[in-house]
Structure 1
């Protein structure tokens, strides 16, 4: 009996999420700060559309929030990556965090004083700009905080936390609005976001200095547009990384189904709470995939596994489109979410493992654009084809 328990325990450890990165104090502080910040961000992500609709009563204005949020990512994501490679990444993070915090306080003040939809769009643009500037540096520091063998596990923990926040955050926002109403719930949500973000600021302040890596022999360190172009040239000459970006972008553009969920819920399943299940299924699957991800760090052929994960995403989405039972659609979407989690972890691990430190910020900037833009282009494609 004891031997059976021992075998079962070892099997469970092989499958359960790898928590060893949390033994590294600097990573543990950043991970905890990110967890709090991600949860708070989800509160704001719900509050901003609610506020915009309350101000205008027009869904077109709500849709414009997507443009205000995506355009800065497209412009400042690559630029933030170039800055992260040319400057101390800790200082870049602190500067981006200060701008993020200021935008959160701006949203809080806007909600308290009563504002204008154009002002809200401007605040969202500032918030997205700050995120675009700091995100590449925040992702690139992982390889400096952890030894190489723990990078996949650290990436998995980060993605799993983000997914869990994507599930729990909107639910918490709903509770805030249920308890306080829309008018008072808006400043409460923004204030909670600002308070929770403090944890990430403290973790960043406690990081050691992270000066840029020395340039390669015969290469000058360049920022701005020249540095961005250097990053794209490096990506073009590194097939492993280029294909990892391309395969993810193709999967998101051709098989992202979110824009169809309202129609599917109404036409196939009669509406009601169905649409909530459809929107949450992918995130729930990704979270469950993360909790059973202990095997990812032991993969040897990451490229093959990445292709299989993307194929799994596409097949699960296609089967969900053919299914006629709600439980089966939700199950297949959850499978797709789990496959997406695996592909995201592998892509991030490959980026941090293959790219030299002097290029990681710029490549993370490209990754920010791909991750943010791919699903939005997929929504556009799905809506146009419906």
Structure 2
């Protein structure tokens, strides 16, 4: 099936390979080459950026509305739980579906579902139907849509761009995510305060039109299936039985690919062992004598660093040793967090948190690039599903671990000890799987 521009899936290899001979240029700012060379990718990135901003607005508006209804911080906290559980539960299955159907259709329908849910929130707000159960239900269904959409969208990128442009594309994706997290809530709070919840939800629904248009213009993207009879995912259907079997097949593939497996392990070292954000409220008062504004600065600092890391990411495309780059950037995260735990000067602490956020962006760019480049096309959806589970669940587990360690010892011990533990665990993993540091993007091996 062709896209709206008349192209077909068979056109993709020729469109991709036509740009592979372009030598990398020396640059510091974010590399915009993927936006210039691929109209499909440009529309997809722009649509995702606009819709991500709208989703961040809605996330804040829902939290504000839940608190207005219940006057309970616990009820607001449940919003995150109702989002996390479906995201983790459907993450793997969404990846399996993305490896059995046309990814363009899956991305289009899941984005349409998310847009309809935003419309439902707007209609309820216009009708003054303020029920917390409805907000929880919509949040959970939105998470399901995201769990189906994200693996499909991510698996499309290597089909739209040549391998040497993947680091630049993932750096651009980091700009989308970080800017949405930073500016979306601010814009959402402004709109809710000025025009009410219904305006924020309605703007989010309209913002989805950009993502829908981008998906509609794409060519059909069925997964490439090499003729391998031993594969458990050769069927074209996506019924429950085959979906579960393909999830297992994806996990089997991951178990036999140490380089890809290390991308997940290294991220867990950072997000589980050295995740200080749950301690920011306590740290703001105990270390800096601050208040809620200080907490806001602590929360914003890693995001600012991540945004700067994305803006000045042009040099990342010249790095070939992606495994070594991941090890160094994750170690930099752990070291920055550890030093943050030792300082009692607010501005110095914010600096080290920003450095940690910058290191996290660099790590994310190379981890995602390795996952895309070293995974066969017919398994990319499932591996992206695992990626969602790790990214969604790792920081929450890190919050629990940090909070427990702080209660048993002190926030300083929890933060500094977590940073040191991150570096130590990473060094141990690198010693066990030494080939990871030698990974070369020119000859990607999973």
TM-score, structure 2 length as denominator? 0.81
* Segment of structure 1 superposing worse, 221-230 or 343-352: 221-230
Match of 1:136 among 132, 151, 168: 151
Q: Partner of 1:63 in structure 2?
A: 77
Which residue number in structure 1 is paired with residue 166 of structure 2? 151
1:265 CA displacement: 1.3
- Equivalent residue, structure 2, for 1:250: 269
Matched, 1:22 2:35: yes
Aligned to 2:203: 192
Match of 1:170 in 2: 185
Offset at residue 272 of structure 1 (A): 4.4
What is the count of residue pairs matched by the alignment?
372
1:110–1:120 CA contact under 8 A, matched in 2 = no
Equivalent of 2:114 in 78, 100, 106: 100
1:374 and 2:390 correspond: no
Please name the residue that 1:262 is paired with.
281
Aligned partner of 1:226 in structure 2 is: 245
Q: Partners of 1:164 and 1:216 in 2: how far apart?
A: 42
Matches for 1:1-386 after TM superposition, within 5 Å: 13-23=26-36, 24-112=38-126, 113-180=128-195, 184=196, 186-218=197-229, 219-220=231-232, 221-222=234-235, 223-269=242-288, 270-386=290-406
Contact 2:336-2:355 at 8 Å conserved across structures: yes
Q: CA deviation at 1:79?
A: 0.6
Secondary structure of 2:287's aligned partner: helix
In structure 1, distance between residues paired with 2:223 and 2:312: 35
Question: What's the CA shift string for 1:321-357, capped at 9, x where partnerless?
Answer: 1111111111100000000000111100000110010
Cα deviation, residue 117, structure 1: 1.3
Tell me the distance in 2 between the aligned counterparts of 1:362 and 1:254. 25
State how far apart, in whole Å, the 2-side matches of 1:177 and 1:191 are. 11
- Counterpart Cα distance in 2 of 1:382 and 1:44: 28
Kept after mapping to 1: 8 A contact 2:281/2:292: no
Structure 1 CA distance, aligned partners of 2:342 and 2:188? 33
CA distance in structure 1 between the partners assigned to 2:193 and 2:108 by the alignment: 35
Deviations 1:25-53 (A, max 9, x none): 11001111011011111101111110111
TM-score by length of 1: 0.94
Partner residue in 2 for 1:5:
none
Which structure 2 residue ranges, 5 or more long, are not aligned? Answer: 1-24, 236-241, 407-446
**Runs of 4+ off more than 3 Å:** none
Q: Distance in 2 between matches of 1:155 and 1:41?
A: 20
Structure 1, gaps ≥5 residues long: 1-11
Structural RMSD (CA): 1.5
Report the secondary structure of 2:298's partner residue: helix
